[in-house]
Amino acid sequence: MPQTKIQMQQQIEINDLAKDIEQIKDNHLQHMAEDIDELKMELKGNREHFNTRIDRLDNRIFWVLGLTVSTLVSIIASMVV
């Protein structure tokens, strides 16, 4: 039984969709994977940058805390004496 014109068009469309799906699998997913890898590397750099900034902030907070405690101790000592 010969295929009708509509069936032939549908078969052509199915073949075109299959080709598009293969192209997406091969090309686009590979590019997405590369982009994700690049983002991971950028995030590692950002993480290092922010870790150093946070470490410096921690040091400043401890200095302020130490100065506050030493001032408080000297005030209490002067009140006792």
The reported pTM is 0.45
Q: Is 4 left (phi over 0), alpha (psi -120 to 50) or beta?
A: beta
Which tens digit of pLDDT belongs to each residue from 50-60? Answer: 888 999 999 99
Residue 74 vs residues 48, 77, 79: alpha-carbon distances, Å: 39, 5, 9
Quick: pLDDT tens for 35-71. Answer: 899 999 888 888 888 888 999 999 999 999 999 999 9
Distance between CA atoms of residues 58 and 68, nearest Å: 15
Helix (H) or strand (E) holding 37: helix 29-80
